A and B are shown apart, each in its own frame.
Chain A
């Protein structure tokens, strides 16, 4: 377990957080910019000397009201938003900087394999100033991991990269972060990154935690500020069940419930084997509700659903509805007016029209 209870008082900003996440897997810290995500991460790393409270990582006390471990004694890996390699050292020397300072090297990674996975084998002798943003960030990740951290912190590691390098690094993170034995706290404001990477989700707003738990549960809750916002979304897990349709993939998300999602031929051929586990992201505003099953609709995914909960009306005159589709929970955002017109109420059987779902 990673148990966090930290407080930090700044002149114009207050951080007061209390949450715990499992001591393995990827936990995303998600929130709008300025909500204190980076400050929280820095406080956990020990880089904010004024932060008070307590912090425990898998049984090790990093901070208590009586004592705080200095940064260098915590065993924390930190990948910053701006890749921060030492400019006076080569890529290789950067990689080994932390490893050389370990008292006891237990080599959880095979060095050669790690270098290959990160795709930096050609760069080892070069200096950081000749590397691209994506390359720098991959070296920084390798450097942090080789120092054998007890907790890996990542502060929007993709946000400074161009679209192409972002996609490369994202695919690497997707498979790699699940393989390693180190818990990861991943700060981001991108719903796509949450959907693709996070097993657990901590929602942060104005310096406080508003929700925390498994990603699908947190996203399906109507109480969070996120679910009321324009960017509300749901994440479903499933397996590829059919790839014979032209331009479409079929994903089985629950017993007998298939969702069809668009996918280009080349993507299908390259990445998606039958039975592969995938995640789908569905925006709440892309889900509408009908009382009867629409016939001859262009919308591919129309599924029977039961209304579990209806939120109170928001300022913008819309409501969020939590739907149960064969045990899966997804959010739908529709107007207050429609809720009145259709006479929607909790427990009602309806049909959910999912205008678009994307593989993430």
Chain B
């Protein structure tokens, strides 16, 4: 059965994934919009930077984040200057790391969705008197529903499965920064296969159900469109 510290790890994981997803949807929207519409030469550079976590071993990202967060690192110094607690080995640090690590999983679906929207609906809305913000809320958001759902699910799921970055910057402190994936690793290391099964199996089934819901919703929206 699940131990108390397993349940704590589960709650920390869900909190981390939820916080990260919400922040990413808010931060990712303007980034994805800019990428979808800009003619700037900077675009490819920004796209490449955002896609980096897709190819880098998470430990590389975690290593540099750890250096940045350390008391001598640029971020660590800035945080200390503001009188805030250190980011390394803290939940806030984990959220920051996860936001960077899961960024492409949110930005890319949003960007694709904005691109496929085309300019026409927005031009029509403008001629009908809608301001830029009004156009975004009344036209872009409802027409990008699927993009947002995909982005949210991928961002959430990817953060759930995070291991390397968390281990590097979180330090595996039970009750504070120990997440599910690391708890599983610890159980396996300790040869507690039964408990590892509970966590791993739960994660497997949970992830499957979430994806099933997304694809189901996707299909319903698709059917509605062709009905």
User: Footprint of B on A, CB under 8 Å?
Assistant: 45-47, 70-72, 74-78, 80, 82, 84, 86-88, 97-98, 101-102, 129-130, 143-144, 147
Is B124 a contact partner of A84 (Cβ separation < 8 A)?
Answer: yes
Is A72 a contact partner of B130 (Cβ separation < 8 A)?
Answer: yes
With A and B bound together, what is the CA distance between A84 and B121 in angstroms? Answer: 7
B138: nearest residue on chain A (CB-CB)?
A97
With A and B bound together, what is the CA distance between A98 and B226 in angstroms? Answer: 27
Chosen A-B contacts, 19 in total, with CB atoms closer than 8 Å, are: A45-B127, A46-B126, A47-B123, A47-B127, A71-B126, A71-B127, A72-B130, A72-B131, A74-B127, A77-B127, A78-B127, A82-B120, A88-B143, A101-B129, A101-B134, A129-B226, A130-B227, A144-B127, A147-B128
Residues of B within 8 A of A87 (CB): 143, 225
User: Footprint of A on B, CB under 8 Å?
Assistant: 120-121, 123-131, 134, 138-139, 142-143, 225-227
Decide yes or no: A86 and B123 within 8 Å by CB, A75-B129, A101-B128, A101-B129 being known contacts.
no
Is B225 a contact partner of A98 (Cβ separation < 8 A)?
Answer: no
With A and B bound together, what is the CA distance between A82 and B119 in angstroms? Answer: 13
How many pairs, one residue from A and one from B, have CB atoms within 8 Å of each other in the complex? 58
Q: How far is the CB of A45 from chain B (nearest CB, A)?
A: 6
Decide yes or no: A98 and B129 within 8 Å by CB, A47-B123, A86-B121, A86-B124 being known contacts.
yes
With A and B bound together, what is the CA distance between A82 and B118 in angstroms? Answer: 13
Is chain B's binding surface mostly helix, strand, loop or mixed?
helix
Residues of A within 8 A of B129 (CB): 72, 75, 98, 101-102, 147
Residues of A within 8 A of B131 (CB): 72
Decide yes or no: A76 and B127 within 8 Å by CB, A88-B142, A101-B134 being known contacts.
yes
Determine which residue in A75, A86, A130 has the highest number of CB atoms from chain B within 10 A of its CB, and name it: A86
With A and B bound together, what is the CA distance between A263 and B134 in angstroms? Answer: 52
Is A47 a contact partner of B130 (Cβ separation < 8 A)?
Answer: no
Given contacts A72-B131, A78-B127, 9 further A-B contacts (CB under 8 A): A46-B126, A84-B124, A88-B142, A97-B130, A97-B138, A101-B134, A144-B127, A144-B128, A147-B127
Q: How far is the CB of A92 from chain B (nearest CB, A)?
A: 15
B225: nearest residue on chain A (CB-CB)?
A129
Residues of B within 8 A of A84 (CB): 120-121, 124
B123: nearest residue on chain A (CB-CB)?
A47
With A and B bound together, what is the CA distance between A46 and B139 in angstroms? Answer: 19
Q: How far is the CB of B178 from chain A (nearest CB, A)?
A: 44
With A and B bound together, what is the CA distance between A97 and B128 in angstroms? Answer: 7
A129: nearest residue on chain B (CB-CB)?
B225
With A and B bound together, what is the CA distance between A321 and B158 in angstroms? Answer: 77
With A and B bound together, what is the CA distance between A97 and B226 in angstroms? Answer: 24
With A and B bound together, what is the CA distance between A59 and B46 in angstroms? Answer: 46
Determine which residue in B123, B124, B127, B142 has the highest number of CB atoms from chain A within 10 A of its CB, and name it: B127
With A and B bound together, what is the CA distance between A98 and B127 in angstroms? Answer: 8
Residues of B within 8 A of A144 (CB): 127-128
Nearest 8 interchain pairs by C-beta: A98-B128, A71-B126, A101-B129, A78-B127, A88-B142, A72-B126, A84-B124, A147-B128
B128: nearest residue on chain A (CB-CB)?
A98
With A and B bound together, what is the CA distance between A45 and B124 in angstroms? Answer: 10
Residues of B within 8 A of A97 (CB): 125, 128, 130, 138
A71: nearest residue on chain B (CB-CB)?
B126
Residues of A within 8 A of B139 (CB): 86
Residues of A within 8 A of B120 (CB): 80, 82, 84
B135: nearest residue on chain A (CB-CB)?
A72
Q: How far is the CB of B65 from chain A (nearest CB, A)?
A: 40
Is B124 a contact partner of A78 (Cβ separation < 8 A)?
Answer: yes
B120: nearest residue on chain A (CB-CB)?
A84
B142: nearest residue on chain A (CB-CB)?
A88
Q: How far is the CB of A44 from chain B (nearest CB, A)?
A: 11
Q: A80's contact among B124, B125, B142, by CB below 8 Å, is which?
A: B124
